[in-house]
Structure 1
């Protein structure tokens, strides 16, 4: 296999963004399959390949979205994931980084801090895959350990980088883990799997106020230590 130019790889990595407003333009299923075929080359401990993916489009997507939104309308904000993702107590620098992303998102959308109704409406957009025509639901066998979760993270990164290189945009979505019961029932996912997250896949809505929103990244001296002697 020929070597890939370093700048091509770098452009795909640096150019990847979590998009939160998609157009209705369909993503060809042959492209979705190509993305997933490439992503499966992610490394995994002893080649376990622990990732499981359910792809929802068209009527299946609409049914899942409707079922989750119905649950949210009857019990707003009550659903909980089967695992802890965020820390129990936020602290610096993570609290500031999280707050900054939320402030920038709401600023672009024109949502004021006190406007709880619009904030709630934006939150529910998660469960519509932000309008993307393709949704992925990722799960893992319940008896696997933390290292396999790392492997799935690398698989997900491959999906997002491959998508960025092929045209579609993406957004990983933890929010779907909260509605594991609805998802499990709707997609026939067995109880011996944990619903980890969702992912939106589609083409960005170019005229969206969220277009080209880029989050900041820390400089090397914040998170890297070099040891030379």
Structure 2
């Protein structure tokens, strides 16, 4: 995913500084006005994490229905200690991801990130 994203931005794989600048936008929530942090119960089993992803997708669809944009950000989980210092969640919770929420900037351009064709990602059984 990273290679596709940085490639769509015209950033070479060996350009560490440019990649770091783009990655740093996570900490600014890509300019969004709101950050949502999703915590999971540490006792949740791995299959239940899929439920969390489906829940977040539903939240994102509801936000779009209200004219808002959003972006889930797994990068926040790497800095869970720092986020926890600010939020002080109960010990039985762990940071799953962040989500930026706001209105899209109409002046901002978004590079097209290529997607794999359905035939490469899904197998239909007959």
TM over 0.5: same fold? yes
Which structure has the highest strand share of the two?
2
Match of 2:49 in 1: 149
Aligned to 1:222: 120
Counterpart CA distance in 2 for 1:225 and 1:114 is 34
Q: Structure 1 residues 169, 150: closer, same or farther in 2, change over 3 A? A: same
TM-score by length of 1: 0.50
Instruction: Give structure 2 stretches of 5+ with no counterpart.
Output: none
Tell me, which stretches of 5 or more residues in structure 1 are unaligned?
1-96
Kindly report which structure 2 residues correspond to 1:19-34, keeping only aligned pairs within 5 A, or say none.
Answer: none
Distance 1:116 1:226 in 2: 40
Query: Between Structure 1 and Structure 2, how many residues are aligned?
Result: 126
Q: Compute the RMSD of aligned alpha carbons.
A: 2.0
Q: Give the equivalent residue in structure 2 for 1:132.
A: 32
Q: Alignment partner of 2:109: what SS?
A: coil
- Separation in 2 of the partners of 1:182 and 1:195? 11
* TM-score of the superposed pair, with normalisation by structure 2: 0.86
The aligned runs of 1:72-151 (5 Å cut-off) are: 98-105=2-9, 107=10, 111=11, 115-151=15-51
How far the C-alpha of 1:144 sits from its partner, in A, is 1.3
